[in-house]
Amino acid sequence: MFRMANAFKNLFDRGAYFSLRLIPPEAAHDLGKWAMRRRLLAPGPYVMEEKSRPVLFGNQLPNPLGLAAGFDKNAEIVDAAIDYGFGFVEVGSVTFRGGSGNPKPRMFRLDDQTLMNRMGLNGDAAEIVAARLAVVRSPLFGVNIAKTHSPDILGDAAIADILGSYRLLARFGMYTAINVSCPNTKEGRTFEDPGPLAELLAALNQARAGTSNPPLVVKLSPVLDPLEETGAQRLEQVLNVCESAMVNGYICCNTQPIDHPKFGRGGLSGNAVRPKAQRMAEFIAGRLSRPVIGCGGIYNRQHLDGYLQRGCIAAQVYNGFVRGPLAGVRFAHRLLQSGIRPK
């Protein structure tokens, strides 16, 4: 009877996965979140042996596989995601004012393992997200903050916007991630430019001085690819600024900017990001004694191990969870059981 029930769950799971691929990706995402909130067929947490469990900012994780920012923008499924086997969750990106984002459609499947999005930082305002985080039971989450999606919020106003979110959200979770690769000017410049980055981090340090707020982490863009001469130079500059500001860790990395001939400007995730993210992670982990979290293009255990072998404490997934060959409600369990974490 147990085998029959298990076979039925597997059949239902795979059927749901293939059905979701027949509808637009953003609708599939929303339907997936709806199912997770209700814990439909949730397999339960995946807890590795004590000696294999990573420690991130003093928190022992059940396993090293996290759910990346972008899936749970509004802190609606943190506890549920742990019940689906993820080791931790990154909420966001959250913006101070929130917003509806860009017009739909704004998420596109380019192939089985590459997604493009131009969401426009849609989501609830930071004050609303803070109220949800106040009742989250699990401590195993980080909060990702970005600037409100408006090209008219410039300079000091852009810093004030991020500080507004920080003051509302920084007391929650294991860490606060600052998404510095979202454009904050009409020209598309980002806080990864050394000057604006130094100003932003100085303001954040002033805001967190004397508090017991969680560590501050910076999420970087794949344009800072150390394999490319310009990218390596820019990455060194960004790291120098971050280290001077005593940033506590790094996430490698965000989506890859693209100007698609059919879908316009946006960001690529999945296979397009993984090689660059792993190179960045290895570059940073080899030079600094700060925690590094990998992010991008994880579809199997080898991809996860590729991050861990390059010095990452943990790595985050999004695309693979909803589109990869192991996708479905037991994604984390399938992936983590398919190999042994390297020492």
pLDDT tens by residue, 259-268: 898 888 888 8
Burial of 289 (0-12, 13-18, 19+ CB in 10 A): exposed
Q: Whole-angstrom Cα distance, residue 292 to residue 310?
A: 10
Please give the structure tokens belonging to residue 156: 């000091």
Strand 175-179 relative to strand 314-317, pairing: unpaired
Domains of the chain with CATH codes: 2-337 (3.20.20.70)
Please give the structure tokens belonging to residue 289: 């004694």
Catalytic residue among 182, 242, 252, 312: 182
pLDDT tens by residue, 73-131: 999 999 999 999 999 999 999 999 999 888 998 888 887 678 888 888 889 999 999 99
- Calculate mean pLDDT across residues 32-48: 91
- Let me know if 312 is a catalytic residue: no
Q: Which of 49, 73, 76 is nearest to 63 (CA)?
A: 49
DSSP string for residues in 118-163: ---S-B-BHHHHHHHHTT-----EEEEE---S-TT--HHHHHHHHH
Q: Whole-angstrom Cα distance, residue 29 to residue 38?
A: 15
Q: Whole-angstrom Cα distance, residue 65 to residue 48?
A: 11
Instruction: Please name the residue that has the structure tokens 């294999």.
Output: 52
- Calculate mean pLDDT across residues 170-181: 95
State pTM to two decimals: 0.92
- Calculate mean pLDDT across residues 283-309: 96
Q: Which of 226, 333, 206, 234 is nearest to 283 (CA)?
A: 226
Quick one: pLDDT at residue 319? 84
Mean pLDDT of the chain: 89
* Contact by Cβ (8 Å): 145, 179: yes
Please give the structure tokens belonging to residue 276: 């660059």
Q: Whole-angstrom Cα distance, residue 251 to residue 316?
A: 9
Q: Which amino acid is at 320?
A: G
* Contact by Cβ (8 Å): 245, 205: yes
- 307 or 32, which is more confident: 307
Q: Which of 77, 222, 100, 91 is nearest to 144 (CA)?
A: 91
Angle between helices 155-169 and 194-208 (to 10 degrees): 40
Greatest CA separation for the chain? 64
User: What SS3 class is residue 159?
Assistant: helix
Q: Whole-angstrom Cα distance, residue 311 to residue 129?
A: 32
